[in-house]
Amino acid sequence: MRTTARTAPAAVPADTAPSGTPKAPGTGDAPALSLRAVRRTFGPTVALDDVTLDVAHGEVHCILGENGAGKSTLCNIVFGTVPVSSGDVLLDGAPFAPASPADAIGRGVSMVHQHFSLVPTLTVEENLLLGRSGLRPDRRALRERLAELRADFGLVVDPSARVDRLSVGERQQVEIVKALLPHPALVLLDEPTGVLGPAEIDGFLSTVRRIADSGTAVVLITHKLAEVMRVGDRATVLRGGRVVGGGRIADLTPERLVTLMVGREIGGLDAVLAATLGVTGPDVAGPPAHGPTTTRARARARAEEPAILEVRGLTVLGPEGARRVDGVDLAVAPGEIVGIAGVEGNGQSELVAAVSGSLAPEAGSIHLAGETVTRASPARRAALGLGVVPEDRHHEAVVPGLSVAENLLLGRLREHRRFLLLDRRSMRTRADELAERFDVRTAGTDAPLSSLSGGNQQKAVLARELSLDPLTCVVAAHPTRGLDLGAVDDVVTRLREAAHRGVGVLVVSSELPELLALCDRILVAYRGRLLGPVPCTDPDARDRVARLMMGTAA
Amino acid sequence: MNLRHPLSVAVLAAAAALAVSAVLAALAGATPVEAGTALWEGMVGTPYAVGSSLGVMAILLLVATGFIVALRANLVNVGGEGQICLGAVAATAVGTALPESVPAALALPAVLIAAAAGGAAWASIAAWLAVSRGVSEVITTLLLNFVGVAVLLLAIHEEALLRQEVTSSETLPQSAPLPDAAHLPLLGVEGSPATVAILLSLALAGVVAVVLARTATGLRLRAVGLSRPAAHRLGLPVDRLRFTSLTSAGAFAGLAGGVLVATAPFVLAEGLSSGYGFSGLVVGLLSRGSLAAAVLVAGALGFLVSGGINLQLAAGVPAAVTQITESLLVLAIAGSAAWTVTRARRGRTRGRTVRSPFRRPPVDVSAPPDPPGRPAAHEPAPQPVGTTLEEARS
């Protein structure tokens, strides 16, 4: 059955591309890229099913979908990292079955990956020359090509700069230059803006537009609707590996796209979720929809209570001795949700590490529930009721090789001992109960934690941290990163519930709309300091935070 | 017969190894039948052969048990040899200092405890360096082997230390024999040199298996071994657990040294260990963290070593050839097992080439690596763009 026939865009003649005249090599009537009934399975999981779509020369084709919808698999198929299980891929009308990325590049396909693929200790030039064959790379040809790219697309890179000295935005620029070097006919961009700040995103999107205008076909994988509306020509929405809709952006509304992505009407969505999707930013829907805990009166009442978590003059040094956190003061009252926004790398990670006990501060003090815990062990902090949702789930939050039950109870094995042995039965009972209460979906709590999906792993972390007894304060670093909408919804609800019970909550996130909808006030991390606060009830909160993120005074 | 069955693979590999060995033995002048008979006789032919095989097995099992304890915390103890030496030195020092009147019920435990303490002390150097300074325990334990062997040599060459009284120019550089009370009792099988060491090693392996699998300590060690940052985050005493596990490994190897001294000929002499530390390491590695497997592997290797000695004695095959035979057999069986496991794993994940670390696109080292997991885990969170919808539309 061809369920896609109705909604999948038919072959788009090149002349329907809304802007620019195609002048890329090999421009014929055939689309730059065609997928015909492509299917890809991983064991029993169907990642892509009967996907048919066309990307014309000179258009920005956006692929949207939730996590696990198959967006990345689609990219990997076209870039030669994964073969199709069945179906055809056509490049410029010719069959295309790349066996490796090198193969794909040879056929004029370039890709910018979600995570940077640059060697940090090499210079930009050396990075760009990597992968070229020959003993003596042609540096002069490279410089000429760089000059060309600068003239055509306004892409400026310093070839002699070392990559690890570059900002995130500059690295992204290098990635794009790297992708454009071999004159590609098709550029794949896999979630390219995830790590960029607002200003960098603006610059990036205009570059994307210029690339498409030069006749190159661009496939942009994203879940940010605002980006799609801004640069996209056409969109295809994937859900569960199938094409569920799409068409010309001009004919689509954001609401329609969200409905397609999520598979339900927006009305049923949490305010935070809607904000995350960019459907109803605070500026659109007026003041953000607040959770039950957030009213001005409550906020005032809280201001008089002593803080549950207090940080004074905290300074944390990075590995090279740089002041990653520079004399930060911070207080979180019971029942208050405080957000820390900011472009990544401005000291948020180090601040969380110091508060959670993973990193010893250089100076300053940390007080939790009336006790000084500046250098206390994580166990001591947990005993005082500090729950921590670490930033890097696999590195620090869980032990993927252990079972779900073991992960949930590792910190309190003392409560599960019978004689000298572990009481596995009581562990299982407790773990089952926690998994049910926090809606962790497992094949059983004996299954290894690594068998859970990202969202369920995060739910397990929350289950462990929020079930501390007593629980006085929660520090959550990027708690919704990598999660699909359902899981985001769940995490946000749990944090709100905790605050409602009088727990102080500190959330670090780079997702501004989410913070605006969740928090009482927002601080902005900028070069190791905290700027603000900006109360979220402020109608200009969004703009003020955005300005602070770029280091301009509010 | 299914040639791809794991068992057939192992049998074929072993047969190939034996064929190569037979050729080598033939070159050394022994017919394959002679060599085979000698090997078999040396392994299980007589009660004496069985007894000495069990003796070797006990030593290997003790070292391997310790190795597995450290491996749980992701520490690789390569220092078995040095720890055996120090254990033996400590055991000899205590054993020869005991007055004759001490009963066996006290003397033997004292000697063995001293041995374990000696090995533990030696391993604690590497453990301390690993925990407090972050020095790789592979390097430190390996290098301490040489020092450990030298300490043993020094002890038996100096009369002020452990050398027996020098009465003539023919007095060997070895310690005085341990008193009878400190001898490990024989199992009592006619004509067999087997001592209670085999029972001791099996019992300890059993206890360790239970501790690792069924107690909180075992689970904590495993968590530390799998992820130090997560274990630290969850409040486990990471440093203490790592120190203790490596030191315990030393204690087990030291105990093996004590057992060597407390069996015939009951003296501390040069070449006392002759590579048991490394063979024990091989047992530990081959058993991949399972004590049940360690018992089997230690048994197989113990019998093989013992058979190899008879191969030299009875068939006149050079020691080098017997060692080649042993090594080939170990390689063949371990290699076929590894091949089987890899093949099974590849079969399970067939069609998931994306997830193979070798096929993934290179990742900026400063960015967190993609965690292994379901495909869903590979996509980042929905992140809002910095522009509002109103701006986006305009």
- Token pair recorded at residue B377: 């885990």
Tell which wins on pLDDT, B385 or A250.
Answer: A250
Burial of A300 (0-12, 13-18, 19+ CB in 10 A): exposed
Residues of B in contact with A320 (CB under 8 A): none
User: Domain for residue B219, yes or no?
Assistant: yes
> Residue B122 sits in which domain range?
51-162+179-306
- Token pair 């490279």 is found at A142
- Amino acid at site A285: A
Residues 75-134 of A with CB under 8 A from B: 76, 81-83, 85, 101, 111, 113-118, 120
| Strand duo A217-222 + A309-317: pairing | unpaired
Which of A219-233, B184-198, B353-367 is predicted with the least confidence, judged by mean pLDDT? B353-367
State the Rg of chain A over Cα: 25
Structure tokens at A474: 């929660």
Contact between chains at A194 and B383 (C-beta distance less than 8 A): yes
* Residues of chain A found within 8 Å of residue B393, distances taken between Cβ atoms: 229
The answer to the question of residue B63 being in a domain is yes
Contact across the interface for A400 and B210, Cβ inside 8 Å: no
Interface contact flag, B233 A390, Cβ < 8 Å: yes
**pLDDT of A503:** 93
Q: B385–A414: do the CB atoms touch at under 8 Å?
A: no
pLDDT on residue B363: 36
Question: Would the pLDDT of B254 be above 90?
Answer: yes
Write out pLDDT tens, residues B327-344: 888 888 778 777 777 776
Q: Mean pLDDT, to the nearest integer, of B120-139?
A: 95
Return the axis-axis angle of helices B216-226 and B238-261, rounded to nearest 10°.
Answer: 110
Query: B334 in a domain, yes or no?
Result: no
Q: Which of A72, A116, A388 sits opposite B379 (nearest CB)?
A: A72
Say if A141 is an interface residue toward chain B (CB within 8 Å).
no
pLDDT of residue A282 exceeding 60: no
> Of A300, A228, A271, whose CA–CA distance to A60 is shortest?
A228
Q: Which of the four pLDDT bands, split at 50, 70 and 90, describes residue B38?
A: confident
Of A457-471, B206-220, B337-351, least confident by mean pLDDT is B337-351
Superfamily per CATH, domain A296-549: P-loop containing nucleotide triphosphate hydrolases (3.40.50.300)
Q: Chain-centre distance of CA A284, in angstroms?
A: 23
Of the pLDDT bands very low, low, confident and very high (cuts 50, 70, 90), residue A65 is confident
Token readout for B62 is 């003790």
Question: What's residue B8's pLDDT?
Answer: 79
Q: Is the pLDDT of residue B56 over 90?
A: yes
A541 interfaces chain B, CB cutoff of 8 Å: no
Tell me: the pLDDT tens digits for B224-250? 999 999 999 998 999 999 999 999 999
Instruction: Tell me which chain A residues have a C-beta less than 8 angstroms from the C-beta of B367.
Output: 115-116, 195
Helix (H, G, I), strand (E, B) or coil at A64: strand
Domain residues of chain A, as ranges?
Answer: 14-252, 296-549
Q: Which helix (H) or strand (E) holds A370?
A: none
CA distance A106 to A91: 12
Give yes or no for B352 touching A (CB within 8 A).
yes
* Phi, psi for B270 (deg, rounded to 5): -60, 145
Q: What is the pLDDT of residues A493-517, one digit of tens each?
A: 899 999 999 999 999 987 777 888 8
Task: Report the chain A residue with the minimal C-alpha distance to residue B392.
Answer: A230
Helix count and strand count (H, E) for chain B:
14, 0
CB contact under 8 A, B223 and A399: yes
Residue B347 sits at the chain A interface (C-beta within 8 Å): no
Q: Which of residues 257-316 of B touch A (CB under 8 A)?
A: none
Q: What is the DSSP string of A418-478?
A: ETTEE-HHHHHHHHHHHHHHTT---S-TTSBGGGS-HHHHHHHHHHHHHT-SS--EEEEES
Residue A388 has pLDDT above 90, yes or no: yes
Could you say which residues from 263 to 302 on chain A have a Cβ atom under 8 Å away from some Cβ of chain B? 275-281, 283-284
Q: How close, in Å, is residue B220 to chain A by CA atoms? A: 7
Residue-wise pLDDT for A424-435, tens only, equals 999 999 999 999
Closest CA to A45 of B362, B355, B343: B355
Confidence of residue A402 (pLDDT cuts 50, 70, 90): very high
* Residue in A114, A379, A512 nearest the CB of B384: A512
Q: Mind listing the pLDDT tens digit for each residue in B261-280? A: 999 889 999 988 878 999 99
CA dihedral (B81, B87, B90, B93) positive or negative: negative
The DSSP secondary structure of A66-93, one letter per residue, reads -TTSSHHHHHHHHTTSS--SEEEEEETT
> Which pLDDT score, from 0 to 100, does residue A272 have?
58
DSSP state, A286?
Answer: S
Using one digit for the tens of pLDDT, what is the confidence trace for A407-419? 999 988 888 988 8
Please indicate whether the domains covering A14-252 and A296-549 agree at the CATH topology level.
yes
CA distance A399 to chain B (A): 6
Q: What is the largest CA-CA distance in chain A?
A: 79
Residues in a beta bridge with A64: A222, A237
DSSP symbol at A375: T
Query: Is the pLDDT at B361 greater than 80, yes or no?
Result: no
DSSP A482-518: T--HHHHHHHHHHHHHHHHTT-EEEEE-S-HHHHHHH
Helices (H), B349-373: none
pLDDT at A540: 82
Q: What is the DSSP string of B229-263?
A: HHHHHTT--HHHHHHHHHHHHHHHHHHHHHHHHTS
Among A399, A452, A457, the residue to mutate for chain B (most B Cβ within 10 A) = A399
Instruction: Inspect the interface and report whether the beta carbons of B392 and A225 lie closer than 8 Å.
Output: yes
Give the mean model confidence (pLDDT) for residues B285-302.
90
pLDDT at res. B236? 92
Q: What is the pLDDT of residue A280?
A: 47
Q: What architecture (CATH level 2) is domain A14-252?
A: 3-Layer(aba) Sandwich (3.40)
The owner of tokens 């708690």 is A479
A68/A353 Cα distance (integer angstroms) = 30
How high does pLDDT run on average in chain B? Answer: 83
Cβ contact, residue pair B382, A275, below 8 Å: no
Tokens 């030039």 belong to residue: A125
- Residue A42 sits at the chain B interface (C-beta within 8 Å): yes
Query: What strand order describes the sheet that includes A109-112?
Result: A109-112, A186-190, A217-222, A60-64, A234-239, A242-248
What is the chain A residue with the closest CA to B378? A482
DSSP string of A192-236? TTTT--HHHHHHHHHHHHHHHHTT-EEEEEES-HHHHHHH-SEEE
Greater pLDDT, A292 or B275? B275
Is-contact A342 A308, C-beta < 8 A?
no
In a domain, B373, yes or no: no
Identify the burial level of A63 via C-beta atoms within 10 angstroms of its C-beta, where 0-12 means exposed, 13-18 middle and 19 or more buried.
Answer: buried
How large is the average pLDDT for residues B362-389?
Answer: 39
- Top residue of B71, B233, B236 to mutate, by most chain A CBs within 10 Å, is B233
Alpha-carbon span B116 to B122, nearest angstrom: 10
pLDDT at A368 over 90: yes
> Looking at chain A, which residue has its C-alpha nearest residue B232?
A378
Which residues of B, range 161-190, sit inside 8 Å of A by Cβ? none
Between helices A454-466 and A424-437, what is the axis angle to 10°? 110
**Per mean pLDDT, which range of A36-40, A198-202, A242-246 is the poorest?**
A198-202
Rounded to an integer, what distance in angstroms lies between the CA atom of residue A338 and that of residue A343?
A: 17
ipTM summary value = 0.75
* Alpha-carbon separation of residue B61 from A16, B84, B124, B204, B296 (angstroms): 76, 13, 21, 9, 9
**Nearest Cα residue to B325 out of B44, B4, B114, B14:** B14
What pTM was estimated for this model as a whole? 0.72
Place of tokens 């720890």: B83
Within its chain, how far is the Cα of A43 from the centroid?
A: 26
Helix axes B80-97, B137-157, angle to 10 degrees: 30
**Do B392 and A227 count as a contact with CB atoms less than 8 A apart?**
yes
Cβ contact A541:A341 at 8 Å? no
Return the amino acid letter for A110. Answer: S
Percent of chain A surpassing pLDDT 90: 28
* Mean pLDDT, chain A, whole residue set: 81
Least confident of A9-23, A134-148, B302-316: A9-23
Residues in chain A: 554
pLDDT(B351) > 70: no
Q: Judge: A410–B385 Cβ closer than 8 Å, yes or no.
A: no
Q: Does B62 touch chain A (CB under 8 A)?
A: no
* Per-residue pLDDT, B379: 39
How many structural domains compose chain B?
1
Q: A474 to chain B, minimum CA–CA distance in Å?
A: 14
